[in-house]
Amino acid sequence: MPVDPKATLETLLRHLGFEATVDESRSDEGVHLDVKTDDPGRLIGRQGETLADLQYITNRLLFQQDPAAPKVTLDVGGYRAQAREALIKKAREAAEKVRRWGDVVELEPMNAYDRRIVHNALRDDPVVETHSVEVDGTDKKAILLRPRRPAA
């Protein structure tokens, strides 16, 4: 029986005491679930941490049912979409500093989901390269942007 990401999330939210509706859309990148609730702040959490944890748990539940289950991305009231656009803007501004001054620019520590957004946003930049680096005392990593080295 195929997994049902929407039903899985709805059940999880119900068990957690949330009244919410879930809209599902599919793309090449997987399944996108958008949660609508009267209390979005509690589901988003501080800097999106609760939302990231909820996404992780949802994906683990689906993967346990079917190891070939598609990757699920969660959003609550458009929070992730707005945060993604702000992150891309910040990455492009940092890349511009690297281009202009030739210096290394370090972005603040962030989770894997956010780092992937930054790396993808700057992947095709001919002048700037990105690297994730460990940050002591946290499970997050920072991203260093620096001038791209010429191919040897």
Whole-Å CA distances, 122 to 1, 88, 105, 144, 145? 40, 9, 13, 12, 9
pLDDT tens digit sequence for 60-116: 999 999 999 999 999 998 999 899 999 999 999 999 999 999 999 999 998 888 899
Q: How far apart are CA 57 and CA 148, in angstroms?
A: 37
User: Could you tell me the pTM of the whole model?
Assistant: 0.74
The length of the chain in residues reads: 152
